[in-house]
Amino acid sequence: MKIIAGIVTFYPNFERLKENIDAIVTQVDHVILVDNGSEDLKKLDALVESYKQVDLIKLFENKGIAFALNRIGKFAVEEKADYFLTLDQDSVVMPGLIEAYQNYIDFPNLGLLNSIHQDRNLSDNDNPITEVVEKELMRTSASLMPTALFEEGFTYDERLFIDKVDFDLNIRLRHAGYKLYEIPYYGLLHELGDIKTHHILGYKVVTYNHSAFRRYYITRNTILLIKKFGLNRNTFIFLIGDIGKEVKTLIFEEDKIKKTKAVFKGWIDGLKFKMN
């Protein structure tokens, strides 16, 4: 069985990226980095050249996370890999992740396999899960996908560019009868935004403090997914979540005006967007 791992980079922290590569390179047959237009390519080249099993694909411009993930999938097809693992530049897999995954790859109708994630910025990461759980939604980082499904057409929607790219794929896989399995294993150390915790009236409120650029795509892509799949359980939760993020922005976050303008522009552009 051949497994490759792909990491999407965009102006990476090189110390963290090296930690990321070191953690996965001994667990898989090959690692591919797809760079989305970073400037310090000489430093990236030097890092890649220090490994025998790591290659770099340079896109020379930011073509979006979906495009880069599709390039990883195509590389898996070209290399005749049975499975490919997708990672972001800030996440570090735990020892034994791939070995743990191999115990579950024969599960029926496998679409994606992932593990429990531990966030660097949160202290309450304890998770009581002791058995495999079927998930409705699953993040890209540390997801293992059968290459045959990618060849079958389950690729990432490049119109989304960034944000909810993974959820779009999740919904399409589930609609086709495939399952998303989370195994009872802490397999990834990651960071989800610039998390900050606030306390108000005895309640704890978590904000992710995404940039205005990200907030635009978060809200725009919710509208695009509603257009693709209708207003169902998942897309309704996305919509309510976006409204909640905006309320938190107005109360707790900086750059309130800039982010709020980005949110409204995202909604307007989403409504105008022609999916065909």
Question: Would you state the pLDDT for residue 259?
Answer: 97
| pLDDT tens-digit series, residues 188-213 | 998 766 788 888 888 889 898 999 99
SS3 209: coil
Question: Would you state the pLDDT for residue 118?
Answer: 86
* Beta bridge partner(s), residue 126: none
What is the model's pTM?
0.94
Q: In which residue ranges of the chain is CATH 3.90.550.10 found?
A: 3-190
Residue 177 DSSP label:
T
Contacts of 250 (CB under 8 A, 6+ apart): 256, 260
Angstrom CA distances, 164 to 117, 204, 231, stand at: 18, 26, 15
Compute φ and ψ for 262, nearest 5 degrees: -65, -40
Asked whether 6 and 78 are in contact (CB, 8 A), the reply is no
Question: Would you state the pLDDT for residue 47?
Answer: 97
pLDDT along the chain (276 residues), means of 10: 97 96 98 96 96 97 98 98 96 96 97 91 62 96 98 98 97 98 94 79 87 97 98 97 96 96 98 92
DSSP collapsed to 3 states, 47-110 = HHHCCCCEEEEECCCCCCHHHHHHHHHHHHHHCCCCEEEEEECCCEECCCHHHHHCCCCCCCCE
Question: Would you state the pLDDT for residue 128?
Answer: 62
3-190: what fold? Spore Coat Polysaccharide Biosynthesis Protein SpsA; Chain A (3.90.550)
